[in-house]
Structure 1
């Protein structure tokens, strides 16, 4: 029997524990208003690595359609869901069943040799449906046969599902581009610095289902982990369950903010910023007798990008904390580990 992983209750969030940032002034405002928002983002990324983003420009109707499609898909029978599970080594697109108790590595652990060799990924009761970014005809890698550009495995008989997911991808990639500009301004870099590193991004999207805990089962939806991305964009339903670790080691509950996305820094961005932006432990715990659904976008740079601390953020007082790595190698290793933890004994 798989061991169950349980967590003590998290503290109620402090008023300013995870900032709520209004993105409208950045999207539509003056140069000074954009700079003011960038300062708020910089503060959040330095202190806890998380923030809520409101007035982000993505229609609420689309956000709710994504959650509705998630509920419909995960309500299918196991046989139907497994019909669109990955089939080839190293792939992770399609349906992934729950993988049992596990936790991630230390913050930044995915950047270390030890972390890359780890056999497990963060687990729990989480079921997922994962998608790669749909490439457009003008993408540099549009015709590439390389398996790192995986083919999406869509569920049968669900044209509305496919349309909703593609529209959602386009909306979130547009939002991601604006966030990249905000990060660059916050760091005193050229506004297009990160945009240039994500021209044909290995962006991945996920629908997430955390079932209501059954009697005697563990309550961990997904174990404590950091994300191996540039940054992550999370859409939550109204059930809640996200918990975040503060810099001093406390766990705080992150309540649902209506209309907001949750943005968090990943290990790749932490490496670029030489530790100025922090990748933070987080987890999902099913503390209510309800099913929970969410959707994520993990923003990853182009395959040929070498990730290393930005030169402007390195000096005698701030020596480089991370070794350079090729994103192609990094992402291949991540996909293979993910697949192996799912489907290999």
Structure 2
């Protein structure tokens, strides 16, 4: 996947016919170990997953293009007070980028409300296609979450890592103006995700890059049947720092627009993010105080929080002084 084989991220096969996906088997626990090690060492991994038909994926991106082709005044109806949960369009710092956020996106009634906001006369094909895609991504997310729990020996103790609903973010990056940004321009500036985790896929137009632990920026290219799992700040906090958050960015060049979608784990209202007690010991002392997720999310958009580098924000907000 990477531009340099030395920095390739792990690729983990979740194929339909794999017996390793049967929980409780030796193969399952081997996969759990691979998932945990990838999250701890890299903050991400490639998911090879054939349970989502390529036709559904293509149809979903066709629907996303229709969404972004709507008039600006229509797109701006997608309003949500939570950061990045509504429409976000071409700000001066990211002039090539726009996105939509859609909460509880695998819930048909919730998604119908969004669809009817964009198309008052309805658009059943858009609604049915994207909800079908999100249900399949939810299944994948739940399986990965169970693997993480089992990898730490917590699968019999906990039903979930952090209580979440799925936030769908669909993203568009315009091609740079002709003759400009020949070496690439920020579609999205370097950051760590503020939501629990992300499953990301794209339309095969490159641009995504990640930073290695030794500070190298590496390009990522996903195959048509691959997805990317990304560790966010809250998952790192839950693991008491054992899991590595992925710092990443999008660099845009060339003549093609880039489209991507992410299924994000969005903590429920009132959720307190805290280190799992079984992951705190003498070798792994607590690194963060318990914190209210909503307060942290809001902090990142305050004047104080916004001037702090993205990967340092959670420590500025909830770090434990030594």
Q: TM-score range by the shorter chain?
A: 0.7 to 0.9
The answer to whether the aligner puts 1:224 opposite 2:190 as a matched pair is: yes
The answer to whether the aligner puts 1:13 opposite 2:7 as a matched pair is: no
Q: Distance in 1 between matches of 2:157 and 2:273?
A: 16
The aligned counterpart of 2:90 is 98
The DSSP-based 3-state class of the residue aligned with 1:183 is helix
Q: In the alignment, which of 122, 130, 141 is matched to residue 101 of structure 2? A: 130
Structure 1 residues 30-69: aligned runs within 5 Å: 31-55=25-49, 57-69=51-63
CA contact (8 A) 1:89 1:336 kept: no
Q: In the alignment, which of 257, 280, 284 is matched to residue 223 of structure 2? A: 257
CA contact (8 A) 2:106 2:135 kept: no
Distance 1:336 1:72, change over 3 A: farther
Q: Which has the higher contact order (CA 8 A, sep 6+)?
A: 1
Q: Displacement, 1:194?
A: 5.4
The aligned counterpart of 1:323 is 289
CA contact (8 A) 1:100 1:125 kept: no
CA contact (8 A) 1:91 1:336 kept: no
The answer to whether the aligner puts 1:188 opposite 2:159 as a matched pair is: no
Q: Displacement, 1:313?
A: 1.2
The aligned counterpart of 2:118 is 155
CA contact (8 A) 2:192 2:246 kept: yes
Distance 1:89 1:38, change over 3 A: closer
The aligned counterpart of 1:108 is none
The DSSP-based 3-state class of the residue aligned with 1:238 is coil
CA RMSD in angstroms comes to 2.9
Query: Which consecutive aligned stretches of 4+ in structure 1 deviate over 6 angstroms post-superposition?
Result: 334-337
The aligned counterpart of 2:137 is 172
Q: Distance in 1 between matches of 2:300 and 2:157?
A: 27
- 1:91-127 CA-partner distances (Å, limit 9, x unpaired): 75543211232xxxxxxxxxxxxxxxxxxxxx45211
TM-score (norm 1): 0.75
Q: Displacement, 1:303?
A: 2.7
TM-score (norm 2): 0.80
The aligned counterpart of 1:207 is 170
Q: Distance in 2 between matches of 1:58 and 1:247?
A: 32
Q: Distance in 2 between matches of 1:100 and 1:251?
A: 24
The answer to whether the aligner puts 1:23 opposite 2:14 as a matched pair is: yes
- Stretches of structure 1 that go unaligned for 5 or more consecutive residues are 1-10, 102-122, 143-150, 341-345
CA contact (8 A) 2:238 2:276 kept: yes
Aligned residues: 292
The aligned counterpart of 1:290 is 256
The DSSP-based 3-state class of the residue aligned with 1:68 is helix
Q: Displacement, 1:312?
A: 1.3
Q: Distance in 1 between matches of 2:127 and 2:133?
A: 10
Q: Displacement, 1:202?
A: 3.5
- Stretches of structure 2 that go unaligned for 5 or more consecutive residues are 307-322
Q: Displacement, 1:300?
A: 2.5
The DSSP-based 3-state class of the residue aligned with 1:53 is strand
Name the one with the larger strand percent. 2
The DSSP-based 3-state class of the residue aligned with 2:260 is strand
Q: Distance in 2 between matches of 1:135 and 1:286?
A: 30
Q: Distance in 2 between matches of 1:305 and 1:76?
A: 35
CA contact (8 A) 2:107 2:131 kept: no
CA contact (8 A) 2:54 2:224 kept: no
